[in-house]
Structure 1
Amino acid sequence: MASTTGNTITLAANETDYSLASSTGFIIAGNALNNQLTGNLGNDTLLGAAGADTLLGGDGNDSLDGGLGADWMAGGAGDDSYVVDDAGDVVVELANEGVDSITSKISLVLGDNIERLYAAQSGLSLTGNAMANFMRGSNGADALNGGDGNDTIYTFATNSTVGGDDTVHGGNGNDIIICGRECHILCVR
């Protein structure tokens, strides 16, 4: 049976599924199995582990991190944030479900209906979608492509004005690009 400490629920080693019945925000932590973790109306944090997990945030501003494995994540309504660390991870957001963000540990093309994309480490290739994206690179060398839409692209991490040797392509739209010291901007119309 899952153990509860405060607002944190941790699945037992043999459990695979957990759904919240309360409307209060909780942290649900999975285990090494393929888990299905389902949030509620609150602002939930869903943490998978080593399995191929399914994370369903529900309403609220949820944080979803599948951990290791190819995970399927859907935040639902609200401003949701995701961590993507496997090429098999899938993030699903529908139109008008809030302003959603992905912090990526791998090179990534941003899926539909997700507005923000952050690099979790250097050396990534990140590409936006047709929306007006906000993108932020790392302090290392990144390749950033805004895609369509009026994008805002920072080539460096939040706590620094020093970026790596970045390559930036704004894509279609009227883009704002803020560079660190070493940035190569490709302007093609």
Structure 2
Amino acid sequence: GGSGDDLYIVDNAGDRTVELANGGRDCVVVVGIDGYTLQANVEDLVLGGSVTRGTGNSLDNVIIGNDAANRLLGGAGTDILIGGAGNDVLVGGAGTDVLQGGSGADVFLFNAATESSPAAPDIIADFTAGEDRINLS
């Protein structure tokens, strides 16, 4: 990618994105493969087709799921994770994150107390009592 905003369509496990630091706001749309992790210097990830798993990096990521049961994992940045219609698992990771599960019975998973603290709290944007769960593993 270059200095502007770039859009990558990744449909093969061998595809790689090469992006410069501070090269605009860049997005990867993943279709046809499952379990994608954002490469360095790419901010956004959209799961297309039947893709169910997506993982961010150290930047401030936006990760958007689809209608499947997604597992969305943020990274070290201040991330926004948006599930879809499926029963999703959202893990913000470090940073002050916004987690939105969408419809379905979603799980908001916190693996360590440092993932959401009084100084850097995560926000669950759409918790539905009796349906969604918070897991403090």
Contact 2:98 2:125 in 1 (8 A): no
- Aligned partner of 2:90 in structure 1 is 82
- Aligned partner of 1:27 in structure 2 is 35
- Aligned partner of 2:3 in structure 1 is none
CA distance in 2, matches of 1:136, 1:91: 13
1:62 to 70, 79, 93: 70
Return the structure number with greater strand share.
1
Q: Of the two, which has the highest radius of gyration?
A: 1
CA distance in 2, matches of 1:10, 1:68: 21
Contact 2:88 2:101 in 1 (8 A): no
Over 3 Å counting, the alpha-carbon distance change for 1:102 and 1:35 in structure 2 is: same
Offset of residue 12 of structure 1: 2.8
Further displaced range: 104-113 or 53-62: 104-113
CA distance in 2, matches of 1:137, 1:47: 19
CA distance in 1, matches of 2:135, 2:27: 34
Contact 2:83 2:101 in 1 (8 A): yes
Offset of residue 81 of structure 1: 0.8
Give the structure-1-normalised TM-score. 0.51
CA distance in 1, matches of 2:122, 2:57: 23
Gaps of 5+ in 2: 1-7
Offset of residue 89 of structure 1: 0.8
- Aligned partner of 1:18 in structure 2 is 28
Gaps of 5+ in 1: 116-130, 139-189
Counting aligned pairs with the same residue, the percent is 20
Alignment of 1:157-168 (within 5 A): none
Describe the superposition over 1:104-128 as per-residue Cα deviations: whole angstroms up to 9, x where unpaired: 132467725446xxxxxxxxxxxxx
- Aligned partner of 1:36 in structure 2 is 44
Describe the superposition over 1:145-181 as per-residue Cα deviations: whole angstroms up to 9, x where unpaired: xxxxxxxxxxxxxxxxxxxxxxxxxxxxxxxxxxxxx
Q: Output the amino acid matched with 1:18.
A: V
Question: Would you identify which runs of 4 or more consecutive aligned residues in structure 1 move more than 4 Å?
Answer: 133-138
Q: Output the amino acid matched with 2:29.
A: S
Contact 1:31 1:51 in 2 (8 A): no
Offset of residue 62 of structure 1: 0.9
Over 3 Å counting, the alpha-carbon distance change for 1:87 and 1:42 in structure 2 is: same
Over 3 Å counting, the alpha-carbon distance change for 1:10 and 1:65 in structure 2 is: farther
Determine helix, strand or coil for the equivalent of 2:124: coil
User: What RMSD, in angstroms, separates the aligned Cα atoms of the two structures?
Assistant: 3.0
